[in-house]
Amino acid sequence: MSLKAFLKGKKVHFIGIGGISMSALAKYLKSEGYAVGGSDIAVNEEISLLEEAGIPVRIGHDPSAVAGADAVVYTDAVPADDPELAEARERGIPCYSRMQLLAAVAEGFTSVIAVAGSHGKTSATAMCAHILLQSGARFTAHIGGRDALLDNFYASGKEFFVTEACEYRKNLLAFERVTAAVWLNCDKDHMECYRDFDELRDTFSRFAARAARSFVNFDDANIRPPENALTFGVSAQNCDYRAVSLRESGERYAFTVLERGEKLCRIRLRVPGAFHVYNALAATAVMRGFGVDIKSIVRGIASFTGVRRRFEKIGKYGGAEFFCDYAHHPAEIAKVLELARRRGSGRLFVVFQPHTYSRTRFLMDDFVKVLSGVENLIIFKTYAAREPFDRAGSAYALHERTGNSLYAESVRELEAYMKKSVRGGDTVLFLGAGDIYYHARRLLQKLGGRPVPGRKGRGGQNSTGSPLDVKE
């Protein structure tokens, strides 16, 4: 269904507009001529940027906010009894989930690239966008994070739509038409939405099989490539796109891409972490599937310098470096811990904020296993998101199980601990997908440290016109 047929009228109200995906969709609708506004429970950086872009935001959920709206869009984090959502339904205003709107938006593009997987979706999506930018394609990108250049939304045309496809509540199956589906990996997550791991894996598989063409990680033992798949990998020798001759410098990798056994190009990453090799391979394979030239692929990936909250250095205090990372799953935590240990020579301090009670409860043993080896560990209070309190899946329950951690509920407690414990040469790592990022920045300010200014990408509502010429 086209967006015009989907949204009757021009005034759209977003409930939970401060979310990274919701804010990008709001920017897109504004660029299409819709009158957009929204609400959220608290001010954050996304809301400030929306207001700068001319999108009004109300703090707090007031039923009167939906008055005059032709449609309401709500995020999955909004409960069914939210006063604005309840009022909209009482008034007969059409109400749509974030994913329903995203699927409708995708229908307006010639080609749709949807990136799925348990880990790495945001970085792989951004890499695809960078390649399209270099190629001169007219495209729109919906990115689940703030890319250093493109931010979370970029629009220059409707030839391509590149977006993440999330497995939460099987949302990725809402897309009616996907030209290229990427399946990066498959791991246990969002298990509260699935009967078991087999159902989760089957959902990913159905998503990939329904696309015109899929691109899947052949090294992942949990992935069975569908018939329409092209494969990528490092260890598997018989995949369509393979990384060989890997070299590492400062945890940034360079590698040669083989396309069906023949040398294609040499890729150099500007972001640290071996896991980005797979993200870059996926982006390369997809772009080759669309006939994008090799030069644009190489330059596009070289122009990708990272996404906010992906091993992002936020500043220094007393000679110690402070980093934030979005890792909130045991597998992601393991990778970023390895990266931090390899990069730093001093002690490692980790502040982890669990994201949702259900994830912590379902994966408790895995969290305990990956965190028990951390010498200086603080478990910060849970970011509950959409969920009610659950003692069995709480941050305190995780703290009790690890046996080697401190527990904190406030920035004040973190401040006292850091003042007496951290010294020059140490690395302090803040992990989690909740508001720990903003707590970490506030903590650094309270400590009197030297913050790295927040990056503001050049994407967004005004990012239309000719592609930027980004050179390595």
Instruction: State the Cα–Cα distance between residues 227 and 282, nearest whole angstrom.
Output: 17
Which tens digit of pLDDT belongs to each residue from 161-215? 999 999 999 999 999 999 999 999 999 888 888 999 999 999 999 999 999 999 9
Phi and psi dihedrals of 303, rounded to 5? Answer: -80, -10
Instruction: State the Cα–Cα distance between residues 47 and 32, nearest whole angstrom.
Output: 20
Q: Which helix (H) or strand (E) holds 247?
A: strand 241-249
As given in the structure block, the two tokens for residue 148 are 């250093």
Mean pLDDT taken over the chain = 91
- Cβ–Cβ under 8 Å, residues 357 and 393: yes
Phi and psi dihedrals of 263, rounded to 5? Answer: -60, 125
Nearest one of 430, 439, 440 to 352, comparing CA atoms = 430
Task: Report which residue type is found at 413.
Answer: E
The string of DSSP letters for 422-471 reads --TT-EEEEE-SSTHHHHHHHHHHHHT-EEPPPP--S-BTT--SSPP---
As given in the structure block, the two tokens for residue 403 are 């046996």
As given in the structure block, the two tokens for residue 194 are 């699935």
Instruction: Report the 10 Å Cβ neighbour count for 412.
Output: 11
Residue 465 has pLDDT above 50, yes or no: no
Beta-bridge mates of residue 140:
155, 161
Handedness of CA 199, 241, 179, 138 (dihedral sign): positive
Beta-bridge mates of residue 262:
259
The predicted model gives 403-429 an average pLDDT of: 93
- What's the pTM value of the predicted model, to 2 decimals? 0.85
Handedness of CA 166, 65, 36, 2 (dihedral sign): positive
Instruction: State the Cα–Cα distance between residues 142 and 199, nearest whole angstrom.
Output: 27
Residue 467 pLDDT level (bands cut at 50, 70, 90) = very low
The predicted model gives 441-454 an average pLDDT of: 86
Report percent pLDDT > 70 for the chain.
96
Q: Which helix (H) or strand (E) holds 229?
A: strand 229-233
Which tens digit of pLDDT belongs to each residue from 26-46? 999 999 999 999 999 888 888
Instruction: State the Cα–Cα distance between residues 250 and 408, nearest whole angstrom.
Output: 33
Report percent pLDDT > 90 for the chain.
76
Which tens digit of pLDDT belongs to each residue from 267-301? 999 998 888 999 999 999 999 999 999 999 999 99
Residue 4 has pLDDT above 60, yes or no: yes
Which pLDDT score is estimated for 454? 57
Instruction: State the Cα–Cα distance between residues 333 and 337, nearest whole angstrom.
Output: 6
